Amino acid sequence: MTGAMVSLLAMGGTIATAPGTVGATPHHQAADLAARLSLSPAPVIRPVDVRTVSSRAVTPRDMWELAQAVQREITGGADGIVITHGTDTMEETAYALSLLLETPVPVVLTGAMRAPHLPGPDGNANLAAAISCALHRPLARYGPVVVFQDEIHTAGLVTKHHSTRPAAFASPSAGPVGSVIEGRVELLLGPPPGKARLTATAPPDKRVEIIQVAAGTDGSLLTALADRVDALVLAAVGAGHLPPPLAEAASELAPTLPLVLASRCADGPILRGTYSGPGSETQLIAAGLRPQHTTLAPLKARLRLIFGLSAGLTADQLFPSPTH
């Protein structure tokens, strides 16, 4: 796109690291990342520094402030947005942006798994691919996307599935929606049905936590957290099941505290009416627990609750009770 302008918003992460005496830490700014690129034709890149941190330090408040920065860049005439971000929580920030933003232009997150001072760094290639995506106007309809290793993933489905490999990201439910080949964007699948964006938004001021369920988990952690949170997500076993002692505690709390039932599995929905008995999905839903949306991961269900409840939306609006 001749004369196009891409805003490059830097949040830190591995792509921005420099070596230290013990290990690498984020150091480089947005202008440094832009200077590494050699693109032809070269778009105008507007560097913007938002944070310079490891993504383990990113909070929902940071995600809100990043969304405001993205909106300012869109209002300021950017043809596309690229966000460099650490990979540890990139999927969470991408989904938060999908809750908070309309995307009239492409919004693309990328980063690196190998620091720039190590052999085979992947940051420049990922950044170049992300810029190609930011300039591909049809991608705006997909909402925020993650671009890594020349694959394009939607915010609602993407997850970091490997802790160290350069090909760290996947979308287990559907795969990538497209790819970048020789700097060209090739879309394979259409945009997600519907929009994740919330009907109201506000800075996050609610606390929501996730309880990871395992064989034999009882209700003690749930009970201990109940008066300290505004809602809880239960990362249940299988298709929405809890050990009976935990199910009993959850059933008692559900009338007074929003409890969302998600799956700890990497893929697949919560069932609605297949099994019965203590801890089954039918018993839990009847008690008032709310099943996740399709294959929404626990991490993303948590963010939907944080930002939705903070904006005054109800748990019923965010996770409607299923009807049969």
CB 232 within 8 A of CB 258: yes
Q: Average pLDDT, stretch 13-33?
A: 95
d(CA 113, CA 138): 28
**Is residue 206's pLDDT more than 80?**
yes
Region of poorest pLDDT, from 46-50, 212-216, 295-299: 295-299
Please give the model's pTM, rounded to 2 decimal places. 0.96
Q: Which CATH code for domain 208-318? A: 3.40.50.40
> Taking Cα atoms as reference points, which of 177, 154, 159 lies closest to residue 262?
159
Catalytic residues: 14
Q: Average pLDDT, stretch 164-183?
A: 96
d(CA 244, CA 290): 17
Q: Average pLDDT, stretch 276-293?
A: 95
> Taking Cα atoms as reference points, which of 66, 220, 214 lies closest to residue 144?
66
Torsion angles phi and psi, residue 16, rounded to 5: -110, 10
**Is residue 158's pLDDT more than 60?**
yes
Instruction: Give the H or E element holding residue 108.
Output: strand 107-110
Rg value, the chain, Cα:
20
Q: 137-157: per-residue pLDDT in tens?
A: 999 999 999 999 999 999 999
Say what angle helices 90-100 and 60-75 make with each other, to 10 degrees: 60
CATH topology of domain 5-187: Rossmann fold (3.40.50)
d(CA 113, CA 119): 11
Task: Count Cβ atoms below 10 Å from residue 100 Cβ, excluding itself.
Answer: 24
Q: Average pLDDT, stretch 266-277?
A: 94
Same fold, 5-187 and 208-318: yes
For residue 39, name the pLDDT band (cuts at 50, 70, 90): confident
For residue 324, name the pLDDT band (cuts at 50, 70, 90): very low
Please, what is the Cα angle at 205 between 201 and 207, to 5 degrees? 115
Q: Average pLDDT, stretch 99-127?
A: 97
> Taking Cα atoms as reference points, which of 206, 158, 224 lies closest to residue 307?
206
Could you state, in order of their start, the residue ranges of all structural domains in the chain?
Answer: 5-187, 208-318
The pLDDT, as a whole number, for residue 1 is 55
